């Protein structure tokens, strides 16, 4: 249970941190090597781009979790309580529908890449699908985060408590 709670609080941040530090490290080292030694490894331009997929899509899931992704708070705060709740539920439904579409089509891309043994350019044995799986994985996490937020919203609505309409990038 402790591990699950830790994952719930830190999954996205940990993945983003690891991917971003790896990406930045590769770029930093290879820029130094290019200017000081006139050499660089062939994959140094491609692996950071693939790692960026992890940063972007997991970042999307994280921002949905903390309620800072694609929000129209200015309008919603002026709506009646019931309409605010209805908007939050519509958001949840739209996120889930969109995420399912993304998961279905990107999973096809992952499987195609895997079945064809697509290799990352500049490498001999790093498979592209290892990076492409970021998209369906992140949107699966996003669905979980949407459901968690919807559960909080439903509970707040039933109690008559204020709904979480505004959020901060610095909150968690």
Domains held by the chain: number: 1
Within 8 A by CB and 6+ apart from 39, the residues are: 33
Q: pLDDT of 29-45, one tens digit each?
A: 999 999 898 888 888 88
Average pLDDT, the chain: 90
42 occurs within a structural domain:
yes
Q: pLDDT of 76-123, one tens digit each?
A: 888 899 999 999 999 999 999 999 999 999 999 999 999 999 998 888
| Residue among 20, 18, 25, 57 nearest 44 (CA) | 25
12 occurs within a structural domain:
yes
| Percentage, residues of the chain above pLDDT 90 | 65
**pTM score, whole prediction:** 0.87
Q: What is the extent of the structural domain holding 39? A: 2-159
Within 8 A by CB and 6+ apart from 149, the residues are: 64, 65, 67, 88, 92, 164
107 occurs within a structural domain:
yes
Asked if the model's pLDDT at residue 169 lies above 70, the reply is: no
140 occurs within a structural domain:
yes
166 occurs within a structural domain:
no
User: Cα torsion for 63, 9, 4, 138, to the nearest 10°?
Assistant: 20
SS3 122: coil
């Amino acid at each position: 249970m402790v591990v699950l709670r830790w994952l719930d609080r830190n999954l996205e941040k940990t993945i983003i941190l690891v991917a971003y530090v790896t990406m930045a490290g590769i770029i930093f080292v290879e820029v130094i090597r290019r200017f000081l030694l006139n050499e660089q490894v062939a994959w140094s331009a491609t692996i950071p781009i693939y790692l960026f997929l992890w940063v972007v899509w997991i970042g999307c899931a994280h921002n949905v979790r903390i309620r800072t992704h694609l929000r129209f708070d200015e309008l919603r705060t002026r709506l009646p309580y019931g309409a605010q709740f209805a908007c939050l539920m519509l958001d949840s439904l739209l996120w889930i529908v969109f995420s399912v579409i993304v998961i279905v089509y990107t999973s096809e891309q992952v499987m195609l890449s895997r079945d064809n043994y697509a290799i990352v350019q500049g490498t001999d044995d790093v498979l592209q699908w290892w990076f492409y799986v970021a998209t369906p994985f992140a949107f699966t996490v996003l669905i979980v985060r949407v459901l968690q937020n919807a559960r909080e919203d439903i509970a707040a609505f039933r109690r008559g408590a204020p709904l979480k309409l505004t959020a901060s990038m610095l909150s968690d």
